[in-house]
Amino acid sequence: MAKRQSGSPSPVPGPPSPSAAAARRRRPLYPKWSEAEDRVVNRFARAIVSGRYPNVNQALPDFRRELSHVTPGLERTEVAVAWKLLCRAYDFGLPRRMHFWTDQERRLLERHASALARGECPDTKTAARQVKRAFEQAGLEARHHDSAILDLVIARSRALGRPLNAVPFSPEEDHVIDRFSRALVRNEYPYGMAAVADCRRALAQAGIASPRGDSMIARRINVGACALGWGSKFAPWSATGVRIIDRFARALVSGRYPSIVAATRACRPAMARAGQLENRTYVGLRAKLRVQALGMGRPRFRPRWTGEELRILDGFARAVIRGAYTSASAAAPRCVRALERAGLRVSARVHSVEDKLRRRTFELRHKRQP
């Protein structure tokens, strides 16, 4: 087809053909909610608004049980059912939890936000946990998500004078943290967060009260280690290190280790005993082991679909199009069993069968349209 020249008028779409209109009038992919189902939705939505159920998750088991009595042959997904019930409850006046804070909740949160601004609380996450604990002690229900509490704690503490940037590290703190940065370079710890607990104890023994969070201390340890050469430029693999990696890669391919994580954990002590672990991170060691194992014939996590597997998938996709199954999700368990009966290995892709079946159903349905 020739390309349209720049500046030429765009073609005006004509009226749809009768065959295309008929194709659009086919059975929808997901059936429309019936009047009987809507009555059940309305009843449970009013029960949530009235307080009989604290939230949608608590009402979901009873709601799905009632739906199964109304439409025994139809099985809707849990996400679709939950969204339908939540939207209907919003229509009946359910307040959106993140938009409404009571006066008592704000007073409790304000107390801990001001403590955070004065430096009496170590970090924002600790303050948010204290706010949740205060809500429980006051007998208040958990109406707000953890992220909403954390966001409001941060906003209120900054409004009360908490600086945007953290207080700079003192020379005494840096002197203690530098020891753990050097220990990280010597591979005494796999990463900075693993050294935080020991670093906190060392700071307490030195009489230094550090109101910083774990992530900030771990970041400081990592920055100091990178300045000393950790993780920046790795030395080339020696012949001894490659022989050790190859030994564990062959063991992984033969099935001695169930996963690459288990093989990496077993490989680290062997590399340390041989003196080959200098400036090697856990992630780098695992990547090298994976590359060697793939070169020795280890299959990837998601192997390609074979022709026999696609033939079985197409059969179930056509059954979904004919209406034998309500959806691809309903046909997926039987499709997995059919693949297993055919002697095909589906252990590495049990969770992807439903995805692939849904895509094949869409492709075949699209090809059926004239």
Angle formed by the axes of helices 124-137 and 146-159, nearest 10°: 110
User: Which residues lie closer than 8 Å to 266 by C-beta, 6 or more apart?
Assistant: 248, 257
Distance CA 268, CA 254 (A): 19
Average pLDDT over residues 239-254: 90
- Please, what sign has the CA dihedral across residues 362, 365, 368, 370? negative
pLDDT digits (tens, 9 = 90+) for 325-369: 888 888 888 888 888 887 766 544 545 788 888 888 878 876 644
Q: What is the mean pLDDT of the chain?
A: 80
Residue 348 has a pLDDT of 47
Tokens of 218: 């771990």
Q: What is the pTM of this model?
A: 0.34
- In this prediction, residue 12 has a pLDDT band, given cuts at 50, 70 and 90, of very low
- What is the pLDDT averaged over residues 14-36? 60
The band of 272, judged by pLDDT with boundaries at 50, 70 and 90, is confident
The residue behind tokens 């307040």 is 95
Angstrom CA distances, 333 to 81, 321, 337, 345, stand at 20, 17, 6, 15
- Residue 23 contacts residue 370 (beta carbons within 8 Å): yes
Is residue 181 pLDDT above 70, yes or no?
yes
- Confidence label for 13 from pLDDT (cuts 50, 70 and 90): very low
Q: How many CA atoms lie within 13 A of 235 on its CB side?
A: 12
> Is a pLDDT exceeding 90 seen at residue 248?
yes
Say which residue, 348 or 174, is predicted with more confidence: 174
Buried b (16+ CB within 10 A) or exposed e, 132-156: bebbeeeeeeebbeeeebbebbbeb
pLDDT band at residue 296, thresholds of 50, 70 and 90?
A: confident
Which pLDDT value is given to residue 199? 92
> Which position has the higher pLDDT, 99 or 176?
176
For residues 273 and 94, give the distance between their C-alpha atoms in angstroms, rounded to a whole number.
63
Which pLDDT value is given to residue 247?
93
To which H or E segment does residue 163 belong? none
> What pLDDT score was predicted for residue 325?
87
Residue 165 has what pLDDT?
A: 58
pLDDT at 243: 92
For residue 303, pLDDT over 50 is answered with yes
So what's the pLDDT on residue 120? 83
pLDDT at 94 over 80: no
DSSP, res 195: G
Residue whose C-alpha is closest to residue 126's, from 146, 105, 143, 145: 146
Q: In b/e form, how buried is each residue of 331-368, taking b as 16+ CB within 10 angstroms? A: bbeebbebbeeeeeebeebeeebbebbbebbeeebeee
CA distance 45 to 33: 15
